[in-house]
Structure 1
Amino acid sequence: MTTLSAPAVPALLDLLRNDGYAFVTHDAMRPLLDRASGLDDWNEFAASWNDLAPDAYLAAHGRYRRRRHATFSAVPGSPVTPEPHQPHYQALKYNTLQGDIERWFEPVLPTIAASASMRSILRFCHDFFGALAPGVPRWHVEVHQFRIEANAQTAGEPTPEGSHRDGVDYVLVLLVDRHNIASGTTTIHAPDGRLLGDFTLTRPLDCALIDDPRVFHGVTPVTPLDASEPAHRDVLVVTFRAAPPAIADLV
C-alpha cells in the first residue's frame, strides 16, 4: 500500500507550487487526515450525504444536485472556527450560470460540522494551504456537501458551468462515495484552455487539491452503470480564500 509519509508532504506542496494541482489517492490521504482528529466517525459523516437538500438554484437545469453549505474562519495557530450561516456568493466571471447572486443553501448539520472527520479535513486544509500562503492572517473557509444524481434519462453534471475557477485561493475536493456511476473525470486546464491533466476520484478519500487562481477545473457528467438502480457521486468541497482585513485592523 502506498502512503504519503510526513517527509512526502513537502513534495505535495511542491506539486501545488509547480503544477497548480495535485491528485492524492485515498491511501495517501488517509494518514494525512489521521494526524488531526482522525476519521473514527467516518461512517456517520458519509451517511449525512443521504440527508442533503435539493439545489433549488439549478431548477432550470434539472434537479440532479443536492447540497448543504457551511462557513468557517481560520487564523494561524488556532483551530478552524465555525461562522454564522451565510449565503454562498460567486462573481459572474467565475460562475456564468449563477454568478452575482446570493445563494442560500441548507446548512451543514451541526453534528456533521463539528464531527471529528470534518475537523480533520479542515485542519489538514488549514495546515496545508497555510504552508502555501504563510502571509495570510485570516482565511474565509467554505464547505460544500454535494450529491450529484444520475438516471437513465438524465446525466448528472457535477460542474454545469463547465471548466471554471471558483474565485478563491485554494480548493480541496474529497470523494466521499460513488455508487453505480460511470465517468465523473476531473479535468485540469490552463487559462488558455489547454488540458493539463485528468483523473477520476473512484474511492472514498481520493482527493484533488487545486490552486484556483492558476488553473481551471471541471468534472465530466456522470451516468448510471445500471439504469434501473439509483446512481450518485458524493463529494466534499472545501475552499480557502484570504479574508479581507477586519475593520478594526484598518483604523
Structure 2
Amino acid sequence: MLSSQSYAQEAGEKIRELLLLRDENALRDLDAFRESWNGMPRDGYMADGGRYRRRRHATLSASRGGTDLRVEAHQPHYQGLDYNGLNGGVARHYAPFEDAVLHGETMSSMLALGCDVFGRLAPYSAWHIEAHQFRIEVTGEESGLPTPEGVHRDGVTFVLMALVGRSNASGGESTVYDLDKRPVEKFTLTEPLDLALVNDERVFHGVSPVERLDPSRTAERDVLVITYRHRP
C-alpha cells in the first residue's frame, strides 16, 4: 500500500504481532518505553509561544539495505522555512533520548521496522534517521497542536509515526494530502502502536488539534516520530 499510494496505516495489535514475530523480545521494555514520555522538557522553540508540546530528539544512521543502526553524536534538529514556516530556519537543540530508551528493545525494534519497510522501497539507500518523542498536553490554557506548522512535509524521504499513548484526549485526527494539498485520507491513531507511514516526497500530512474530554483533567497525546532521509 505504501508503494502504491504513498501512505499506509496499521493497527497497533498488528504491529505488535509483527514485531514479536521478528523478535520475541522486541517489546520487552514497552512499559518503560511508554513511561519515558513522562517528565520530558518543554519544546522551547515554539514560535507561536505555545507551551503545549514536550520533546526529545536523537540522530542515528543505517547502512544500505540493512538494519544495523548506529547512534550518532547528539546534534540539533533543523528544517528549512520551506518545510516548516513556523519553527524552521533555526537549529533546534532538544534534550536527547534517555540512553536506556534509545538502546532498548522497543525503540530498536521500531527503528529496525522502518529500515526494513522503507529499505524495500529504496534498497540502495543508506539512511540519516532522526527520532522524536512528542507529547502534546492540553491543560485548558491553550489548544494542543500536534502539527503547529499546519499541513506540511518534513523534508525527508519517509516518515514513521507511532502512537505511544493518549489520555483524556479528543481530536488528533491525521490527514494525508496529495501534492496539491487535496485531502486523500483521514484516520485517528487511538491505540498504542497504531502506526502511520508516509512517503514524504509524495504526500503532505497534518494532525488536527487535541482537546480535553474531561475539562477538569489534562489531555495527553504521546507519539514517536522517526524520519528516514536518503544519505549519500
TM-score normalised by structure 1 residue count: 0.89
Choose the corresponding residue for 1:140, options 125, 128, 131: 128
Q: CA deviation at 1:19?
A: 0.8
Q: Does 1:17 align with 2:6?
A: no
**Conserved 8 A contact 2:2-2:198:** yes
Q: Which residue of 1 aligns with 2:114?
A: 125
**Conserved 8 A contact 1:64-1:156:** yes
Q: Partners of 2:205 and 2:49 in 1: how far apart?
A: 20
Q: CA deviation at 1:187?
A: 0.3
Give the percent of matched residue pairs that are identical in Structure 1 and Structure 2: 49
Q: Partners of 1:18 and 1:108 in 2: how far apart?
A: 34
Q: CA deviation at 1:71?
A: 0.5
Q: Which residue of 1 aligns with 2:156?
A: 168
Instruction: Please give the per-residue CA displacement for 1:97-119, whole angstroms capped at 9, x wherever unaligned.
Output: 12221110000011110000011
Q: CA deviation at 1:59?
A: 5.6
Structure 1 gap segments, 5+ residues each: 1-14, 245-251
Secondary structure of the equivalent of 2:111?
A: helix
Q: Which residue of 1 aligns with 2:105?
A: 116
Matched residues, number: 229
Q: CA deviation at 1:78?
A: 4.8
Structure 2 counterpart of 1:55, which letter? Answer: D
Choose the corresponding residue for 1:29, options 15, 24, 27: 15
Q: Which residue of 2 aligns with 1:3?
A: none
Q: Partners of 1:154 and 1:187 in 2: how far apart?
A: 22
Q: Does 1:85 align with 2:71?
A: no
Q: Does 1:154 align with 2:142?
A: yes
Q: Which residue of 2 aligns with 1:100?
A: 89
Aligned-residue Cα RMSD (Å) equals: 1.1
Structure 2 counterpart of 1:205, which letter? Answer: L
Q: Does 1:184 align with 2:161?
A: no
Instruction: Please give the per-residue CA displacement for 1:10-53, whole angstroms capped at 9, x wherever unaligned.
Output: xxxxx111111011111211122221451011000000000211
Secondary structure of the equivalent of 2:191?
A: coil
Secondary structure of the equivalent of 1:111?
A: helix
Q: Partners of 1:43 and 1:59 in 2: how far apart?
A: 33
Q: Which is helix-richer, 1 or 2?
A: 1
**Conserved 8 A contact 1:73-1:82:** yes
Deviates more, 1:167-176 or 1:29-38: 29-38
**Conserved 8 A contact 2:131-2:224:** yes
Q: Go from structure 1 to structure 2 and tell me whether the alpha carbon gap of 1:236 and 1:78 turns closer, same or farther (over 3 Å shift).
A: closer
Q: Provide runs of 4+ in structure 1 moved above 2 Å.
A: none
Q: CA deviation at 1:229?
A: 0.8
Instruction: Please give the per-residue CA displacement for 1:133-189, whole angstroms capped at 9, x wherever unaligned.
Output: 0011x2100000000011223110000000100000000000000000101000000
Secondary structure of the equivalent of 2:146?
A: coil
**Conserved 8 A contact 1:32-1:124:** no
